Amino acid sequence: MFEVHPPGSFPLCVDPRFQDDAVRDLEHVSRLVREATRSFPVLGLILTGSVSRGEGTLIADQKTGTRWLGDLECLLVVPPGSRTSIRRIDDALHDVETELNNDLRDRQRGLKIGLPRMVASQLARLRRSIFNREFLEHGKLLWGTPSALPLPAWWTAGAREVPMRDALRLLNNRTLQQITARMAHETGDAEPMAAEYAISKFWIELATSLSVFLGCYRTTYRDRQTAIESLLASRPEIFGSEFSELLVARLREAMAVKFGQTPRVLGPICQRFDEVARMASRVWHWESARMLGADPDDSDWRLVISRLRRLETASQRSRDWMRLLVRDRALRRLTPYTIRTVRAALHAGSLANAVYATGCLLLFFWNEIGLENEPGPQIAQTLGSFFDVRAGTGKERRLMLTQRVHTAWERHLRFSPA
Nearest to 79 by CA among 156, 163, 147: 147
What mean pLDDT is predicted for residues 235-258? 93
- Domain of 165, CATH number, reads 1.20.120
Domain assignment present for residue 352? The answer is: yes
Q: Are residues 335 and 410 in the same domain?
A: yes
Sign of CA dihedral 340, 341, 342, 343: positive
Q: How confident is the prediction for the chain on average, in pLDDT? A: 90
Same domain as 133, residue 29: yes
pLDDT number for residue 81 = 80
Task: Measure the CA–CA gap between 244 and 263, rounded to whole angstroms.
Answer: 21
Task: Give phi and psi for 144, each to the nearest 5.
Answer: 140, -165
**Residue 31 pLDDT more than 60?**
yes
Q: Which domain holds residue 240?
A: 161-296
SS3 72: strand
Each residue's pLDDT tens digit, 285-314: 999 999 999 988 888 999 999 999 999 887
Q: Are residues 305 and 292 both part of a single domain?
A: no
Taking the C-alpha atoms of residue 29 and residue 100, their distance in angstroms, rounded to an integer, is 8
Q: Is residue 74 part of a domain?
A: yes
The more confident residue out of 235 and 190 is: 235
| Interior angle at CA 348, CA 347 and CA 353, nearest 5 | 160
> Residue 32 and residue 196: Cα distance in Å, rounded?
34
Residue in 309, 323, 304 with CA at minimum distance from that of residue 383: 304
Q: What is the per-residue pLDDT for 333?
A: 58
Reply yes or no on whether the pLDDT at 399 is more than 90. yes
Query: Among 19-28, 159-168, 269-278, 340-349, where is mean pLDDT lowest?
Result: 340-349
pLDDT value at residue 197: 84
Looking at the structure, tell me whether residues 53 and 103 fall in a common domain: yes
Question: Could you tell me where the beta strands, DSSP code E, fall in 54-210?
Answer: 58-61, 65-68, 72-78, 113-114, 117-119, 140-144
Task: Write the CB contacts of 19 (distance below 8 Å, at least 6 apart in sequence).
Answer: 11, 12, 13
Q: Are residues 291 and 186 in the same domain?
A: yes
Claim to verify: residue 265 and residue 166 sit in the same structural domain:
yes
Domain boundary among 136, 156, 176: 156
User: Coil, strand, or helix at residue 335?
Assistant: coil
pLDDT at 281 over 80: yes
Q: 114, 133, 156 — which closes off a domain?
A: 156
pLDDT single digits (tens) 175-234 = 999 999 999 999 988 777 788 889 999 999 999 999 999 999 999 999 999 999 999 999
User: What secondary structure letter does DSSP report for 18?
Assistant: G
| Side chain identity at residue 282, one-letter code | R
pLDDT of residue 154: 95
Whether 4 is in a domain gets the answer: no
Q: Let me know if residue 253 belongs to a domain.
A: yes
Do 100 and 173 lie in a common domain? no
Tell me, yes or no, whether 368 lies in a domain. yes
CA dist., res. 104 & res. 231, Å (int): 46
Question: Quick one: 146 and 178 in the same domain?
Answer: no
Domain edge (last residue) among 96, 123, 156: 156
Residue 207 near residue 252, CB atoms below 8 Å: no
CA–CA separation, 24 and 21 (whole Å): 5
Q: Decide if 1 is inside a domain.
A: no
CA angle, residues 257, 402, 338, in degrees to nearest 5 = 145
Mean pLDDT in residue range 66-76: 92
| Shared-domain flag, residues 253 and 361 | no
96-105, 126-135, 356-365: lowest mean pLDDT where? 96-105
Residue 7 lies in a domain: no
What is the tally of structural domains in the chain?
A: 3
Q: Give the pLDDT score at 347.
A: 73
Average pLDDT of span 394-408: 93
Same domain, 390 and 304: yes
pLDDT, residue 385, reads: 86
Say how many CA atoms lie within 13 Å of 399 toward its Cβ.
12
Residues 307, 288: contact at Cβ < 8 Å? Answer: yes
**Is 365 domain-assigned?**
yes
Same domain, 32 and 107: yes
Give, as one character, the DSSP assignment of residue 355. Answer: H
Nearest CA to 205 among 243, 245, 258, 155?
258
Confidence band of 22 (pLDDT split at 50, 70, 90): very high
How much is the pLDDT for 413? 74
Alpha carbon distance 81, 211 (integer Å): 40
CA distances to 368, 377, 394 from 374, rounded to whole Å, are 6, 6, 11
Predicted structure pTM score = 0.89
Q: Reduced to 3 states, what is the DSSP secondary structure of residue 175?
A: helix
Query: CA 226, CA 248: separation in Å to the nearest integer?
Result: 10
CA distance 235 to 192: 38
**pLDDT value for 53:** 96
Bridge partners (DSSP) of residue 77 are 44, 118
**CATH code for position 95:** 3.30.460.10
Question: Beta partners for 72?
Answer: 113
Compute φ and ψ for 362, nearest 5 degrees: -65, -40
Q: Rounded to an integer, what distance in angstroms lies between the CA atom of residue 182 and that of residue 199? A: 9
The answer to whether residues 172 and 199 belong to one domain is yes
Helices (H), 259-300: 269-292
